[in-house]
Amino acid sequence: MSSPVTRKRTRSNDEDEEDIPLAKRGSAPNSGEGAATNSLPQAAGSVQTDGQGTDGEEQDGEFWFDDGTVILVAGGIKFRVYEGLLAGLSPVFKAMFVEGRALCNVYMGEVLAVHVLDAPEDLRYLLRVCFSRRLGSLYEERSPSYHEISAAIRLGAKYKVPDLYTQSLTYLKRYFPSTFDNWLALSVYGPPGWDMVENLGAINLARFTGELSILPSAFVACICAAGPETTGLAHGIGRRDGSREHLSPDDLTICFNGKTSLRAAAVTAFLRTIRPLVSRDCSAVSTCKRALRNVHLNLEQHVEGLLDGNPFAQYEMKFFEKQGGLGICESCAAMVRERSAKERRDVWNRLPELLGIDVPGWKDQPA
């Protein structure tokens, strides 16, 4: 698995100057920030009318512009930005600013201050996108972290920024596909740079968005990538503010039960693949039958591999390639490859059943 992604408030190296607002940025960010928040977005209506001031909050080091026209306050951090830019991208922000002025909301000098119920790091991701010149092509040249995709989907929905929401959801679906062929095309479980445990976030995002077609592959990624460390999923994803994002108890149970179901499916698929029935065009019937029987007799050497929970591995190749193959004729070898593809695809089509989840239309997904 890839190593854990480091979260920093400074800009990443792969983001060029086109993403930096024209106004001058402040000093390097301070590391002490924010309060813990729930993993799901709060209601967008967060205008304060009780006279609460902003003097006690810390200025953000990345988004504080001296000529900014509005201050957003999130988790004890103040972001001074441009009202017109945000209002032009988000009808929710626009309504909040109008309401704030109508209610004579909190002001810092002559600048409107609006409190939002978002984690500071999530709001920072959103502001980077809003101030970027790449809103139409966010992920073509870089691989976003889990926390960025999570913030983009949740806040893109909350603040109604469709380009952000749609592109981020499309990125998520690319690495948690609903088709078997697209799954096989992936070289690792989950998006590049994501830590193993961050795959559970895809499950939470699928629940949040209602995109249930993400769930089967997201559960498989959590179960198979974790291997014997599946219990690590119970600890959840750590956030920079010290809070943790967890699976729901029901989804965590699916992971534990699903591991057993996937193991059984893997073993069954493999046994059907190498059953000692030769090809119709077999050129060495007795030799091929004996070779396939020997595979069965030698399975005890490969029990651990079969029980790793991955029902989509080509075990007939994985176990015997070091011995020069299965020792069968080319016609029978082609038959075994065909059986393997069929059995593995059948398991894919049964994933919702094996996991005990409801995914409408899953069996109708194109192959």
Q: What's the pLDDT score for residue 114?
A: 92
Ranges in the chain, pLDDT < 50: 1-53, 228-229, 322-323, 367
What is the model's pLDDT at position 169? Answer: 97
So what's the pLDDT on residue 96?
A: 93
Q: Look at the pTM and tell me if it is higher than 0.85.
A: no
Architecture of domain 17-166: 2-Layer Sandwich (3.30)
Q: What local confidence, expressed as pLDDT, does residue 319 receive? A: 59
For position 89, what pLDDT does the model report? 93
Domain-wise residue ranges, the chain: 17-166, 177-259, 264-353
Contacts 24+ apart (CB under 8 A), 158-163: 158/41, 158/42, 158/44, 158/92, 158/118, 159/44, 159/90, 159/92, 159/93, 159/126, 160/90, 160/91, 160/92, 161/89, 161/90, 161/126, 161/129, 161/130, 163/135, 163/136, 163/138
Q: Using one digit for the tens of pLDDT, what is the confidence trace for 340-364?
A: 999 999 999 999 999 999 999 897 5
Per-residue HEC secondary structure of 244-297 comes to: EECCCHHHHHHHHHHHHHHHHHHHHHHHHHCCCCCCCCCCCHHHHHHHHHHHHH
Please write the tens of the pLDDT for every residue from 223-250: 887 554 455 788 889 888 788 999 999 9
Distance CA 47, CA 57 (A): 16
